[in-house]
Amino acid sequence: MPSVRVAKTTEVPAGQGLVVQAGTKVLALFNVEGSYHAIDNSCPHRGGPMGEGDLDGRVAVCPWHGWRWDVTTGANANNPAVKIACFPTRVMDGDVYVELP
């Protein structure tokens, strides 16, 4: 899996998200208490920009229709059988990297 640098850790304050580009993919990067998590930026419901929504603990809320996703697992908060794509992350020298398939 190739790793792609997507942001500096300082660009994503705790409890917030950021829309980032990773190769050809647009992802939402979230900082959950110093741990970084990347999910597909496009909400499976209607394509809302997940990285522009609020983060409630480890649950990202789509700004368009309020669908809620656990950024650590990709599971929908109301129906865990429905998932959004998650991508492994790592931090190195103050930069956040995402592993792409």
Question: Which two three-digit tokens encode residue 42?
Answer: 């496009």
- Mean pLDDT over residues 29-48, rounded? 97
Tens-digit pLDDT profile for residues 41-90: 999 999 999 999 999 999 999 999 999 999 999 999 999 999 999 999 99
Give residue limits of the domains in the chain: 3-99
pTM, full prediction: 0.96
Average per-residue pLDDT for the chain:
97
**DSSP per position, 43-99:** -TTT--BGGGSEEETTEEE-TTT--EEETTT-BBSS-TTSB--EE-EEEETTEEEEE
pLDDT at 99: 96
CATH 2.102.10.10 fits 3-99, yes or no: yes
